[in-house]
A and B are shown apart, each in its own frame.
Chain A
């Protein structure tokens, strides 16, 4: 057994025998303003981040026709919306997945290996389409984390991601470029 573990923990315990000054306690005042209409707020934030909302089944077919190779997570929700596809994750032009929930305040989509067909499908393809239901919208991250805890506690998926808009970088002169490594396009379709 590597002795480093005990050495580090011993040093930590020895260090903490001297007490540090405790900062002033925070108040219970809310950190963020309240959200009146979560779905409206989600749409506003998501669109501002260059996410695309696909409004109806007709628009969805039109969107899907733009991609020759499509891979999906094969969930019931997704299969019902997009039908049969046969491309693999590494060769597809579009990955279609479900999600755990949508976060109104930040316009985010939360996916996990269990809700969205593993790790690669929602990040490797050049475009990502999420199929969600209206009732999956939650107001904020606090509500989203509570929902995830309830759904997965003690049986967590090995990876979760909060996705907020398409992949981006501003490393060069703070100029915003979409599609740095992940999907350049991120779209959302609300299944009825």
Chain B
């Protein structure tokens, strides 16, 4: 059996060498970057916006019990129902129960990473209930049988031509090179699904404690149709999605949009407080909120990394990550990709199985810099590496190598000897065959004869006393190894 770590290495290696893939991602992320730069220019103080958001999330997450109870009470008062799901299986089972009780044959779904996390579509299909993804990107993923490539941009890895071909094969539509035509094909197909669906399932970007509302951010209108037309609406909400006050959204809506797509605010930011009321003319008869734990309380218990629960799933840390940009979203093999995924997945799922993910990082800190809620992402990647080593989940060979490296570095004599040996082996060429897997797709320059240490000593001697004109020592080319 292939472990998650072996699969990761294989997929990452393939994607890194795939130049077409790299081109598609670079083009997509370049337009994202340009939009975000324009978006941030609308703020007087972006850094303070981040600090305010971090403070609100800190307050919520560190008093989560209080806000969860307040939220639940308000949803009930508004005429909705609340179900607490400890695991993915509990959440799936509850959805199936509700579907059976209401005689549901078709479900329309709007984009929700939480439903991806609990593999809801598979469960519904197994129960004979037709589940249709209605966000354009998610719909394309669904008909291709692929998981989303990115938490915000599900088909970032596909070109117009790829999508046209998918539509041609799966839907039998004529070939086209127009993004608009493709979107209109999906609109027409999905409009029929909306009109005949019995149940709408959504996620939530925020849950408002003091009014008992869920907030959904989108651009297409598919979420609004999903919670407006069917008889029953279910929202599956991670317990960390809470914000204390209705007014907090005046900050979080723009913040999420700017970081997610560069927009000042997305086309539709909606709030649902319950089912149709007697004074209203339409809307679902029932509104259900499923509050999902599924490992989140384990992350909460780690005070050092608790701020990872502040995440609003904007995707900014993916877009800025040099690793994500090279290995792509699918290589991670997780619901949540990129830096945030590598921080939370070992907590939400099995730590041993996913302990390789925190190494998928250059620790450059770009993720921490862009995070709109100031999660200390790159330090948490280091914390996860430390935890995995403390729990002895690391590779014993790697452990031996690091021990040897440490022993070498602790003595200048040992260092000099090993460096000389290394230099010699590399120049004579037999190391190259040893390093074949590494150098197959990378340049590997031959190191210079003279070591940096030797060169430095010469420079030092020549410049004592410091006289720049006498400096005749030739500078060797330093290779970045």
Q: Which residues of A contact B (CB under 8 A)?
A: 2, 4-5, 7-9, 11-16, 18-27, 29-33, 45, 89-90, 105-108, 113-114, 117-120, 123-124, 140-142, 144-146, 148-149, 156-175, 177, 179-183
A72 CB, min distance to chain B CBs, angstroms: 12
B251 near A31 with CB under 8 A, answer: yes
B44 near A29 with CB under 8 A, answer: yes
* Contact code string B51-62 (vs A, CB < 8 Å = 1, else 0): 110110010011
The stretch from B271-279, B332-340, B358-366 touching chain A is B271-279
B137 near A142 with CB under 8 A, answer: no
- Judge whether B195 is part of the interface by a CB distance below 8 angstroms: yes
CA distance A13 to B67 in the complex (A): 12
B48 near A29 with CB under 8 A, answer: yes
B228 near A123 with CB under 8 A, answer: yes
- Judge whether B350 is part of the interface by a CB distance below 8 angstroms: no
Q: A13-B65, A156-B213 are in contact. Are A168 and B219 (CB under 8 A)?
A: yes
- Identity of the chain A residue whose Cβ is nearest the Cβ of B42 in the assembled complex: A32
Find B246's partner among A117, A149, A175 (CB 8 Å cutoff).
Answer: A149
B219 near A180 with CB under 8 A, answer: yes
Listed residue (B31, B51, B155) with the most chain A CB atoms within 10 angstroms of its CB: B51
- Judge whether B15 is part of the interface by a CB distance below 8 angstroms: no
A159 near B136 with CB under 8 A, answer: no
Q: A114-B280, A156-B273, A162-B270 are in contact. Are A183 and B183 (CB under 8 A)?
A: no
B280 near A157 with CB under 8 A, answer: yes
Q: Could you say which residues of chain B place their CB within 8 Å of the CB of A183?
A: 221
B44 near A171 with CB under 8 A, answer: no
CA distance A159 to B200 in the complex (A): 14
A39 CB, min distance to chain B CBs, angstroms: 18
Instruction: Please give me the 10 A-B residue pairs with the lowest Cβ-Cβ distance, nearest first.
Output: A182-B221, A180-B220, A26-B51, A119-B228, A15-B301, A171-B137, A141-B250, A11-B297, A181-B221, A175-B179
A168 CB, min distance to chain B CBs, angstroms: 5
The size bracket of the interface on B is 35 or more
- Judge whether B153 is part of the interface by a CB distance below 8 angstroms: yes
A16 near B65 with CB under 8 A, answer: yes
A15 near B219 with CB under 8 A, answer: no
Q: Could you say which residues of chain B place their CB within 8 Å of the CB of A124?
A: 225, 228-229
- Identity of the chain A residue whose Cβ is nearest the Cβ of B263 in the assembled complex: A164
Q: A118-B281, A171-B153, A174-B32 are in contact. Are A180 and B84 (CB under 8 A)?
A: no
Interface of A is mostly: loop
Q: Could you say which residues of chain B place their CB within 8 Å of the CB of A171?
A: 135-137, 140, 153-155, 183
Q: Could you say which residues of chain A place their CB within 8 Å of the CB of B31?
A: 174
- Identity of the chain A residue whose Cβ is nearest the Cβ of B226 in the assembled complex: A181
Q: Could you say which residues of chain B place their CB within 8 Å of the CB of A148?
A: 246
A181 near B225 with CB under 8 A, answer: yes
Q: Could you say which residues of chain A place their CB within 8 Å of the CB of B251?
A: 31
B221 near A180 with CB under 8 A, answer: yes
Find B58's partner among A11, A23, A89, A173 (CB 8 Å cutoff).
Answer: A23
B267 near A165 with CB under 8 A, answer: yes
B219 near A32 with CB under 8 A, answer: no
Q: Could you say which residues of chain A place their CB within 8 Å of the CB of B211?
A: 156
**Beyond A16-B63, A158-B273, A181-B190: 15 further Cβ-contacts under 8 Å?**
A4-B85, A9-B68, A9-B69, A11-B300, A27-B48, A29-B45, A32-B44, A119-B282, A141-B250, A145-B246, A159-B272, A162-B268, A168-B220, A169-B219, A182-B221
Q: Could you say which residues of chain A place their CB within 8 Å of the CB of B276?
A: 158
B78 near A26 with CB under 8 A, answer: no
- Identity of the chain A residue whose Cβ is nearest the Cβ of B86 in the assembled complex: A4
A142 near B228 with CB under 8 A, answer: no
CA distance A29 to B239 in the complex (A): 31
Q: Could you say which residues of chain B place their CB within 8 Å of the CB of A158?
A: 78, 272-277, 280, 283, 287
- Judge whether B21 is part of the interface by a CB distance below 8 angstroms: no
Q: Could you say which residues of chain A place their CB within 8 Å of the CB of B317?
A: none
CA distance A174 to B86 in the complex (A): 37
Q: Could you say which residues of chain A place their CB within 8 Å of the CB of B43?
A: 31-32
- Judge whether B109 is part of the interface by a CB distance below 8 angstroms: no
Q: List 16 A-B contacts (CB under 8 A).
A: A20-B62, A23-B58, A23-B374, A31-B48, A31-B49, A32-B43, A108-B265, A113-B283, A123-B221, A149-B247, A159-B283, A164-B264, A164-B269, A169-B136, A171-B154, A179-B187
